[in-house]
Amino acid sequence: MSTVKIKNKRARYEYQFIDTFTAGIQLMGTEIKSIRLGKASITEAYCVIDNDEVFVRNMSIEEYGNGGFVNHSPRRDRKLLLNRSEINKINRKLKTTGYTLICTLMFIDEKGRAKLNIALAEGKKLHDKRNSIKDRDDKREMARKLKNF
C-alpha cells in the first residue's frame, strides 16, 4: 500500500502553530478512493466548530473516476472525529482573538484510514515572515558550506 501524504506547504509560512491535533475524517466511499490516489488538496482548507462538532471546509477531493452516479461533491463540509476534551480545548482557544484552526497534513494511517493533522494557529506578521525566509536561507547556506567542507 502506497503512502499518501498531502501537505499544506503554505501553512508554516503563513501561521505560527500553537497546538496540533490528529483527527479522523468522516468520508464517503468514493472520497477515500480519491484520497488514496492522491487527488486531494488542503491548501485552502480551514476548520470551524458548529454545534460542538468540528468540520473542515474548503478541502478539495476530486471526484473518483469510476464513481458513476454515486460520486461525492468535491468541496463539501466534512466532519472531523475528535475527542470531546480536544473539541472543548480548541473551542476555548478559538474564542481568543487571532487564532484559527488550519489543516497541515492529510495522510493514510497503517489501518488504511484517512487522518488529518490540524493546528491551532496564529497568523504571522510581515516581519515574522521575513524572519522565516531569512532563517531558511541561512540554514541552506550553512548546509552548502558544510557540504563543501
Residue identified by cell 461525492 is 72
* pLDDT for 63: 86
In the chain, where the domains are located: 5-124
Give CA–CA dist 96/101, Å, rounded: 12
* pLDDT for 2: 55
Give CA–CA dist 87/77, Å, rounded: 17
Note the Cα 4 to chain centre separation in Å: 13
Give CA–CA dist 132/17, Å, rounded: 13
Summarised one tens digit per residue, pLDDT across range 89-100 is 999 888 877 889
Give CA–CA dist 129/123, Å, rounded: 10
Dihedral class, residue 98 (left if φ above 0, else alpha if ψ from -120 to 50, else beta): left
* pLDDT for 12: 85
Whole-prediction pTM: 0.79
Q: Which residues in the chain land under pLDDT 50?
A: 1
Considering the chain, what percentage of its residues have pLDDT values greater than 90? 36
Query: From the CB of residue 26, how many other CB atoms can be counted at a distance below 10 Å?
Result: 14
Q: What are phi and psi of 80, to 5 degrees?
A: -100, 145
* pLDDT for 22: 94
* 5-124 to CATH, choices 2.40.280.10, 3.40.640.10, 2.102.10.10, 3.30.230.10: 2.40.280.10
